[in-house]
Amino acid sequence: MSEEAIGTPGVEPPDDLEASLSRIDPDRWLSSRFAAGPHVRRALVALYAFDNELARAPRAASNPLVAEMRLAWWRETLEEVRSGAAVRRHPTALSLAEAVRDHGFDLALLERLIDARLRELEDRPMSLEEALEWADGTGGTCARLASGLLDPVSDPEAAEAGGSAWSIGRLILTAGLSPDAAREALERRLDRARGVSAAAFPAIAHAALARARAAGRRPSALGDRLRLMRAVLTGRI
């Protein structure tokens, strides 16, 4: 079956990758602005763009089989990166391959991001335990990868907790979870995230927005920026 038949993930000009991320994932795009160095910021944009492509698969596909094929498309892309073969001509794929080559992103963790999205293909609500596992596997894994890029000696589990907290905050109002139990899990992860080093903090700065997201508050873009700046300056989320 051709890529057109299964619905090739949306393609956009490479120059627009960062602009696109700022629109569809403003929380993590803002966090990436606090990372030191344009090459590092470029790698973070590639990572978050990849995660957002995976997130699109269940939403954009007409049925679970097509969504699974979209995720398989990205798994094949990672195999191309691993083998050193030419990577398919997709801006996110090319940027991710560059980031893996230049910064050594762990391919096993990138595959974990794909695995976590498979749960979204099931036509039933998540239990709290499943939702927390999903949050650890998505936002948590991204934060672990970002932390390793920014500071290889920072605590990776603390980073995963911070990224997971951000994902939980966005999920609470949409997944039918028990608010009290979900918020308790959110607070545990925010507390654990305190172990992230100052150098790695941009990997989890967006977790400073988790409580507001969980409460359904949608601050202005300026409000989000100020909240993140305060988090980065104080090292507290």
Spell out the per-residue pLDDT of the chain, length 237, in tens.
323 333 334 444 445 899 999 999 999 999 999 999 999 999 999 999 999 999 998 877 678 889 999 999 999 999 999 999 899 999 999 999 999 999 999 999 999 999 999 988 888 888 888 999 999 999 999 999 999 999 999 999 999 999 999 999 988 766 666 678 888 999 999 999 999 999 999 999 999 999 988 887 776 888 889 999 999 999 999
State which amino acid sits at residue 184. E
| Per-residue model confidence (pLDDT) at position 221 | 84
pTM of the entire structure? 0.90
State the number of CA atoms in the 13 A half-sphere of 63 facing the CB. Answer: 2
Q: How far apart are the first and last CA of the chain?
A: 47
Rounded to whole angstroms, the Cα distance separating 28 from 26 reads 6
Which residue type, as a one-letter code, is found at position 176? G
pLDDT at 177: 67
27-32 contacts at long range (C-beta below 8 A, 24 or more positions apart) = 27/166, 27/206, 27/209, 27/224, 28/142, 28/166, 28/206, 30/205, 30/206, 30/224, 30/225, 30/228, 31/202, 31/203, 31/204, 31/205, 31/206, 31/228, 32/202
